[in-house]
Homo-oligomer: A and B are copies of this chain.
Amino acid sequence: MCESCGCGDPHLVSVDVHDRILSENERQAAHNREHFGAAGVFALNLMGSPGAGKTAILEATARRLAGRRKLGAIAGDLATDHDAARLEREGVPSRSITTGNACHLDAAMVHHALHHMAWDALDYLFIENVGNLVCPAVYDLGEHLNVVALSVTEGEDKPLKYPVMFKKADLVLVTKIDLLPHLPGISVDVIWDALQRVMPKPTMLTFSAVTGEGVDEWIHWLESRRDAISAAVQNS
């Protein structure tokens, strides 16, 4: 019944409407991607459930890259600008998108936000999507890479239960790893096994914004992917 947002069955909305919406989004996403490519901005779409720790990841990233890279962020939520405000406090120029009832960002929302920020001088643009393990997976925003935050508190079977999201992920950050000793039923090995079943190229890092575990590895992944994509753009 949500076919028009790409996340439903087609009983009531025609295939035409569905295709029109997604193809319009693809067109806009390609336009965004052209902008990012021309300006040398590395754009990353960060997704995950509500409370998976997306903003905490970006706060830790901002502290680690301060003075080395120019960061900017777009943060989506149904209501409030809490996440953008948190990132601003870490020195990251941020733009909030409040979606009202919408369960995801789309390429047009991102494009609109770009018009209100000095994005083209950035090294990284982090797009923190609406907290949702379903709908954001369907919408290309023009990003270079997709990262999914999955908290250990969410349980081990989420990759199997929400495969659409994990199929799209270039990297899964297993967050709140510091809570693992208090979750006797949860095993990172089982999460990794589930990810291997659904991700085309399974890639996982464990992460804690509290203890700093995994932050080095995350920054290394981020910088190496940015270098690889920059090199590919220059050679094309």
The contact of A153 among B3, B133, B176, by CB within 8 Å, is B176
Residue on B nearest A21 in the bound complex, by CB: B12
Contact check, B78 vs A162: say whether CB atoms are below 8 A apart: yes
Q: How many copies does the complex hold?
A: 2
Tell me, rounded to whole Å, the shortest Cβ–Cβ distance linking A75 to chain B. Answer: 10
A49 interface contact, C-beta 8 A: yes
A91 interface contact, C-beta 8 A: no
A131 vs B155: C-alpha distance in the bound complex, in angstroms? 12
Contact check, B164 vs A101: say whether CB atoms are below 8 A apart: yes
Q: Which of A3, A7, A138 has the most CB of B within 10 A?
A: A7
Residue on B nearest A78 in the bound complex, by CB: B162
A50 interface contact, C-beta 8 A: yes
Stretch at the interface among A38-46, A102-110, A217-225: A102-110
Decide yes or no: A160 and B104 within 8 Å by CB, A1-B5, A132-B134, A179-B182 being known contacts.
no
Q: Within 8 Å CB of A6, what residues of B?
A: 101
Per-residue CB contact flags for chain A residues 85-117 toward chain B (1 = under 8 Å, else 0) read 000000000000001111110101000000000
Contact check, A17 vs B8: say whether CB atoms are below 8 A apart: no
The contact of A49 among B20, B21, B49, B183, by CB within 8 Å, is B49
The chain A residues found within 8 Å of chain B, CB to CB, are 1-9, 11-13, 17, 20-21, 24-25, 49-51, 77-80, 82, 99-104, 106, 108, 130-135, 138-139, 151, 153-155, 157-158, 160-164, 176, 179, 182-183
21 contacts between A and B (CB under 8 A): A1-B4, A1-B25, A1-B106, A2-B5, A2-B103, A6-B101, A7-B103, A11-B108, A13-B21, A50-B162, A51-B158, A77-B161, A82-B160, A82-B161, A101-B164, A103-B103, A131-B133, A132-B132, A132-B134, A153-B153, A153-B176
- Nearest 8 pairs of A and B residues by beta carbon: A51-B154, A2-B5, A4-B4, A103-B134, A153-B153, A8-B102, A7-B103, A51-B155
